[in-house]
Copies of this chain bind each other. A is one copy, B any other.
Amino acid sequence: MSDREARTPTPAELRILRILWRLGPSTVHEVHAALATEKSVGYTTALKMLQVMTEKELVERETVGRAHRYRPVAAEETTQRQLLRDLVDRAFGGSVDALVLRALSDVDVPQADLEEIERLLSRERERRS
């Protein structure tokens, strides 16, 4: 249990990571302030989360005076990929395109986005040729 596993972050952990990706390295105070705008939560809760996340190596911290400044260990992109991989495996039998197709068939996706994705997709496809 003490080692390298790179488990996917829990929902509460992800909420904090998103704040750190947005704000950059931040103190508990700053994280708590940002968190409190979307969800009522105590200061020590934010602190404890960050401590646990440090333990799990989801974040690193640097000492600044008497306080700590936290930063995410993984880039947002990396974590998003990991979460997608996880979902693809758990719910789509490992097929990325089954997931993509399902996502695109969502009625909420605006027409304009479909066109945009189509453009990016063909660019991506060509990049690989």
Contact = CB atoms under 8 A, between A and B. Distances in A.
A113 interface: yes
A122 to B, nearest CB: 6
Each complex incorporates copies of this chain amounting to 2
A5 interface: no
A39 to B, nearest CB: 13
A15 B90 CA distance: 7
A14 interface: yes
26 contacts: A14-B91, A15-B90, A77-B102, A79-B91, A80-B91, A80-B92, A80-B99, A80-B102, A81-B102, A81-B106, A83-B91, A84-B99, A96-B109, A96-B113, A97-B109, A97-B113, A97-B116, A100-B103, A103-B103, A111-B125, A111-B128, A111-B129, A114-B124, A114-B125, A118-B118, A118-B121
